[in-house]
Amino acid sequence: MTAPPPATGPGALRLLVVEDENFTRAELADLLADLPGVGDVQEADSGEAAVRRIGTESFDAVFLDISMPGLDGMEVARVLSALSEPPAIVFVTASERHAVEAFGIGAADYLLKPVRPERLADAVGRVRALRRPAPGQPRPPADELSVVQIETGRHTVFVRRDDVQFAEAHGDYVRLHTEGDTHLIRLSLSYLEEVWGPAGFVRAHRGYLVAVRWIRDLRVTGSAGLLACTPAGDVPVSRRHARALKERLLAAVRDDPRAGGR
Protein backbone atom coordinates (compact mmCIF):
# COMPACT_ATOMS: atom_id res chain seq x y z
CA MET A 1 0.00 0.00 0.00
CA THR A 2 1.41 3.40 -1.00
CA ALA A 3 1.91 5.89 1.83
CA PRO A 4 -0.09 9.12 1.53
CA PRO A 5 1.86 12.14 0.29
CA PRO A 6 2.93 14.64 2.96
CA ALA A 7 0.65 17.59 3.62
CA THR A 8 1.61 20.80 1.91
CA GLY A 9 0.65 24.44 2.19
CA PRO A 10 1.04 27.13 4.85
CA GLY A 11 -0.70 25.05 7.52
CA ALA A 12 1.46 21.92 7.21
CA LEU A 13 3.77 21.27 10.15
CA ARG A 14 7.51 20.89 9.68
CA LEU A 15 8.96 18.58 12.34
CA LEU A 16 12.39 17.37 13.47
CA VAL A 17 12.89 13.99 15.18
CA VAL A 18 16.01 13.84 17.40
CA GLU A 19 16.93 10.30 18.47
CA ASP A 20 20.27 8.46 18.55
CA GLU A 21 18.79 4.98 17.92
CA ASN A 22 18.33 4.55 14.17
CA PHE A 23 15.32 2.22 14.22
CA THR A 24 13.44 4.24 16.85
CA ARG A 25 14.13 7.49 15.01
CA ALA A 26 12.94 6.16 11.66
CA GLU A 27 9.84 4.59 13.19
CA LEU A 28 8.83 7.81 14.95
CA ALA A 29 9.45 9.86 11.80
CA ASP A 30 7.24 7.50 9.79
CA LEU A 31 4.43 7.67 12.37
CA LEU A 32 4.55 11.46 12.36
CA ALA A 33 4.60 11.67 8.57
CA ASP A 34 1.36 9.66 8.42
CA LEU A 35 -0.56 12.08 10.66
CA PRO A 36 -2.95 14.62 9.11
CA GLY A 37 -1.54 18.13 8.82
CA VAL A 38 2.09 17.03 9.04
CA GLY A 39 4.28 18.04 6.13
CA ASP A 40 8.05 17.65 6.13
CA VAL A 41 9.61 15.40 8.82
CA GLN A 42 13.39 15.60 9.18
CA GLU A 43 15.75 13.56 11.41
CA ALA A 44 18.84 14.22 13.54
CA ASP A 45 20.85 11.47 15.23
CA SER A 46 22.28 13.57 18.08
CA GLY A 47 21.71 16.68 20.12
CA GLU A 48 24.61 18.43 18.42
CA ALA A 49 23.19 17.65 14.97
CA ALA A 50 19.79 18.95 16.06
CA VAL A 51 21.20 22.27 17.29
CA ARG A 52 23.11 22.73 14.01
CA ARG A 53 19.98 22.11 11.93
CA ILE A 54 17.73 24.32 14.03
CA GLY A 55 20.31 27.09 13.73
CA THR A 56 19.88 27.17 9.95
CA GLU A 57 16.38 25.75 9.35
CA SER A 58 12.89 26.49 10.66
CA PHE A 59 10.78 23.81 12.40
CA ASP A 60 7.39 23.99 14.06
CA ALA A 61 8.33 21.34 16.61
CA VAL A 62 11.15 19.08 17.74
CA PHE A 63 10.38 15.55 18.96
CA LEU A 64 13.29 15.06 21.31
CA ASP A 65 14.77 12.06 23.09
CA ILE A 66 16.33 12.82 26.47
CA SER A 67 19.00 10.13 27.00
CA MET A 68 21.54 10.66 24.21
CA PRO A 69 25.35 10.65 24.15
CA GLY A 70 26.95 14.09 24.15
CA LEU A 71 24.34 16.86 24.25
CA ASP A 72 21.27 15.27 25.84
CA GLY A 73 17.65 16.24 25.26
CA MET A 74 17.30 18.54 28.28
CA GLU A 75 20.42 20.46 27.21
CA VAL A 76 19.10 20.77 23.66
CA ALA A 77 15.78 22.07 25.02
CA ARG A 78 17.55 24.75 27.06
CA VAL A 79 19.43 25.88 23.95
CA LEU A 80 16.17 26.07 21.99
CA SER A 81 14.38 28.00 24.74
CA ALA A 82 16.91 30.83 24.29
CA LEU A 83 15.87 31.37 20.64
CA SER A 84 13.67 34.35 19.81
CA GLU A 85 11.11 32.05 18.13
CA PRO A 86 11.82 28.51 19.40
CA PRO A 87 10.06 25.47 17.99
CA ALA A 88 7.66 23.60 20.24
CA ILE A 89 9.34 20.79 22.16
CA VAL A 90 7.85 17.33 22.60
CA PHE A 91 9.99 14.99 24.69
CA VAL A 92 9.94 11.29 23.76
CA THR A 93 11.61 9.20 26.45
CA ALA A 94 11.49 5.92 28.34
CA SER A 95 11.57 7.55 31.78
CA GLU A 96 8.97 9.56 33.70
CA ARG A 97 11.51 11.17 36.03
CA HIS A 98 12.18 14.24 33.86
CA ALA A 99 8.51 15.21 33.38
CA VAL A 100 8.33 18.09 35.87
CA GLU A 101 11.61 19.55 34.61
CA ALA A 102 10.45 19.16 31.01
CA PHE A 103 7.22 21.07 31.53
CA GLY A 104 9.15 23.66 33.53
CA ILE A 105 11.25 24.29 30.42
CA GLY A 106 8.01 24.78 28.52
CA ALA A 107 7.55 21.45 26.72
CA ALA A 108 4.37 21.09 24.71
CA ASP A 109 4.09 17.42 25.68
CA TYR A 110 5.98 14.51 27.25
CA LEU A 111 5.58 11.09 25.63
CA LEU A 112 6.68 7.79 27.10
CA LYS A 113 8.19 5.03 24.95
CA PRO A 114 6.82 2.97 23.37
CA VAL A 115 4.72 5.82 21.97
CA ARG A 116 1.08 5.02 21.33
CA PRO A 117 -0.25 6.43 18.02
CA GLU A 118 -3.15 8.22 19.72
CA ARG A 119 -0.77 9.99 22.13
CA LEU A 120 1.44 11.02 19.22
CA ALA A 121 -1.62 12.47 17.47
CA ASP A 122 -2.51 14.35 20.66
CA ALA A 123 0.99 15.82 20.83
CA VAL A 124 0.81 17.00 17.22
CA GLY A 125 -2.55 18.59 18.00
CA ARG A 126 -0.97 20.52 20.88
CA VAL A 127 1.87 21.66 18.66
CA ARG A 128 -0.66 22.95 16.15
CA ALA A 129 -2.56 24.80 18.91
CA LEU A 130 0.63 26.39 20.24
CA ARG A 131 1.97 27.44 16.87
CA ARG A 132 1.61 31.09 16.01
CA PRO A 133 -1.32 31.53 13.61
CA ALA A 134 -0.66 32.55 10.06
CA PRO A 135 -1.96 35.99 8.99
CA GLY A 136 -5.74 35.95 8.94
CA GLN A 137 -5.99 32.81 11.08
CA PRO A 138 -7.66 33.21 14.49
CA ARG A 139 -5.97 32.02 17.70
CA PRO A 140 -7.66 29.21 19.66
CA PRO A 141 -10.74 30.59 21.42
CA ALA A 142 -10.26 31.73 25.01
CA ASP A 143 -12.97 29.36 26.24
CA GLU A 144 -11.20 26.25 24.92
CA LEU A 145 -11.46 23.46 27.49
CA SER A 146 -13.90 25.52 29.56
CA VAL A 147 -15.29 22.12 30.52
CA VAL A 148 -12.88 19.18 30.81
CA GLN A 149 -14.15 15.68 30.14
CA ILE A 150 -12.41 13.00 32.21
CA GLU A 151 -12.96 9.27 31.72
CA THR A 152 -12.76 7.37 35.01
CA GLY A 153 -13.48 3.69 34.71
CA ARG A 154 -17.02 3.21 33.42
CA HIS A 155 -18.24 6.77 33.86
CA THR A 156 -17.35 10.26 32.68
CA VAL A 157 -16.73 13.26 34.90
CA PHE A 158 -17.14 16.83 33.63
CA VAL A 159 -15.03 19.43 35.42
CA ARG A 160 -15.65 23.14 34.88
CA ARG A 161 -12.52 25.19 34.35
CA ASP A 162 -13.86 27.87 36.69
CA ASP A 163 -13.96 25.30 39.52
CA VAL A 164 -10.28 24.40 39.09
CA GLN A 165 -8.16 26.29 41.62
CA PHE A 166 -4.77 25.00 40.56
CA ALA A 167 -3.22 22.41 38.26
CA GLU A 168 -0.18 20.25 39.03
CA ALA A 169 2.12 18.43 36.59
CA HIS A 170 1.99 14.72 37.36
CA GLY A 171 4.18 12.69 35.00
CA ASP A 172 2.40 12.29 31.67
CA TYR A 173 -0.73 13.83 33.22
CA VAL A 174 -1.97 16.95 34.99
CA ARG A 175 -3.83 16.80 38.31
CA LEU A 176 -6.63 19.36 38.53
CA HIS A 177 -7.46 20.52 42.05
CA THR A 178 -10.95 21.74 42.88
CA GLU A 179 -12.29 22.42 46.34
CA GLY A 180 -12.60 19.00 47.96
CA ASP A 181 -11.56 16.89 44.94
CA THR A 182 -8.81 16.19 42.40
CA HIS A 183 -8.96 14.89 38.83
CA LEU A 184 -6.20 13.38 36.69
CA ILE A 185 -6.22 14.21 32.99
CA ARG A 186 -3.78 13.37 30.19
CA LEU A 187 -2.70 16.86 29.15
CA SER A 188 0.49 18.86 29.51
CA LEU A 189 0.77 21.81 31.87
CA SER A 190 2.18 23.94 29.06
CA TYR A 191 -0.88 23.26 26.92
CA LEU A 192 -3.19 24.24 29.80
CA GLU A 193 -1.16 27.41 30.31
CA GLU A 194 -1.69 28.29 26.64
CA VAL A 195 -5.43 27.73 26.52
CA TRP A 196 -6.34 28.71 30.09
CA GLY A 197 -4.06 31.75 30.36
CA PRO A 198 -6.78 34.13 29.07
CA ALA A 199 -9.07 32.77 31.83
CA GLY A 200 -6.66 33.86 34.58
CA PHE A 201 -4.41 30.83 35.08
CA VAL A 202 -0.81 31.82 35.83
CA ARG A 203 2.37 29.77 36.11
CA ALA A 204 3.41 29.77 39.78
CA HIS A 205 6.11 27.13 39.56
CA ARG A 206 7.53 24.90 36.85
CA GLY A 207 5.08 22.20 37.92
CA TYR A 208 2.04 24.34 38.86
CA LEU A 209 -0.58 26.66 37.38
CA VAL A 210 -2.84 28.60 39.72
CA ALA A 211 -6.11 30.46 39.07
CA VAL A 212 -5.59 34.04 40.24
CA ARG A 213 -9.24 34.40 41.18
CA TRP A 214 -8.87 31.61 43.78
CA ILE A 215 -5.77 32.95 45.55
CA ARG A 216 -6.69 34.11 49.07
CA ASP A 217 -3.22 35.32 50.02
CA LEU A 218 0.50 34.83 49.55
CA ARG A 219 2.41 33.44 52.48
CA VAL A 220 6.11 32.97 53.21
CA THR A 221 7.12 29.88 55.19
CA GLY A 222 10.51 28.81 56.44
CA SER A 223 10.37 25.37 54.85
CA ALA A 224 8.41 25.82 51.60
CA GLY A 225 9.20 29.45 50.78
CA LEU A 226 6.46 31.50 49.11
CA LEU A 227 3.04 29.87 48.84
CA ALA A 228 -0.12 30.92 47.02
CA CYS A 229 -2.96 29.86 49.29
CA THR A 230 -6.23 28.61 47.78
CA PRO A 231 -9.18 26.80 49.38
CA ALA A 232 -8.02 23.63 47.58
CA GLY A 233 -4.51 23.84 49.03
CA ASP A 234 -1.24 25.75 48.99
CA VAL A 235 0.69 26.15 45.74
CA PRO A 236 4.50 26.64 45.77
CA VAL A 237 5.67 29.81 44.02
CA SER A 238 9.19 29.80 42.59
CA ARG A 239 11.41 32.88 42.58
CA ARG A 240 11.29 32.87 38.81
CA HIS A 241 7.51 33.27 38.74
CA ALA A 242 6.90 35.23 41.96
CA ARG A 243 7.03 38.72 40.48
CA ALA A 244 4.71 37.96 37.55
CA LEU A 245 2.23 36.23 39.84
CA LYS A 246 2.18 39.17 42.27
CA GLU A 247 1.64 41.60 39.39
CA ARG A 248 -1.27 39.54 38.06
CA LEU A 249 -2.77 39.31 41.52
CA LEU A 250 -2.49 43.07 42.07
CA ALA A 251 -4.04 43.74 38.68
CA ALA A 252 -6.91 41.39 39.47
CA VAL A 253 -7.56 43.14 42.79
CA ARG A 254 -7.53 46.55 41.06
CA ASP A 255 -10.00 45.36 38.45
CA ASP A 256 -12.21 43.53 40.96
CA PRO A 257 -11.74 44.22 44.69
CA ARG A 258 -13.32 40.84 45.46
CA ALA A 259 -10.55 38.96 43.61
CA GLY A 260 -7.65 37.48 45.55
CA GLY A 261 -9.58 37.40 48.78
CA ARG A 262 -12.21 34.73 48.45
Q: How confident is the model at residue 153 (pLDDT cuts 50, 70, 90)?
A: low
What's the CA gap between 126 and 122, in Å, rounded?
6
pTM, 2 dp: 0.53
Q: How confident is the model at residue 11 (pLDDT cuts 50, 70, 90)?
A: low
Average pLDDT over the chain reads 84
pLDDT at 248: 84
pLDDT at 144: 55
Residue 236's alpha-carbon distances to 32, 166, 223, in angstroms, are 37, 11, 11
Q: Of 95 and 229, which is predicted with more confidence? A: 229
CATH 2.60.40.1220, domain 153-255, yes or no? no
User: With 60 as the cut, is the pLDDT of residue 134 above it?
Assistant: no
pLDDT at 255: 56
Highest mean predicted confidence (pLDDT) among 5-9, 99-103, 127-131, 171-175 = 171-175
Q: What is the pLDDT of residues 80-124, one digit of tens each?
A: 988 888 899 999 998 877 777 777 777 888 888 989 888 898 889
Q: Of 101 and 167, which is predicted with more confidence? A: 167
Q: What is the pLDDT of residues 138-149, one digit of tens each?
A: 444 445 568 887
Q: Which of 90-104, 130-144, 154-168 has the lowest mean pLDDT?
A: 130-144
Q: What is the pLDDT of residues 177-209, one digit of tens each?
A: 999 899 998 888 888 888 898 888 999 999 999
CATH architecture of 13-130: 3-Layer(aba) Sandwich (3.40)
Q: How confident is the model at residue 218 (pLDDT cuts 50, 70, 90)?
A: very high
Mean pLDDT over 3-25 rounds to 78
What's the CA gap between 39 and 34, in Å, rounded?
9
Nearest alpha-carbon partner for 176 in 38, 132, 187: 187
Q: How confident is the model at residue 253 (pLDDT cuts 50, 70, 90)?
A: low
Mean pLDDT over 35-40 rounds to 92
Q: Of 170 and 132, which is predicted with more confidence? A: 170
Residue ranges covered by each domain of the chain: 13-130, 153-255
Mean pLDDT over 140-163 rounds to 73
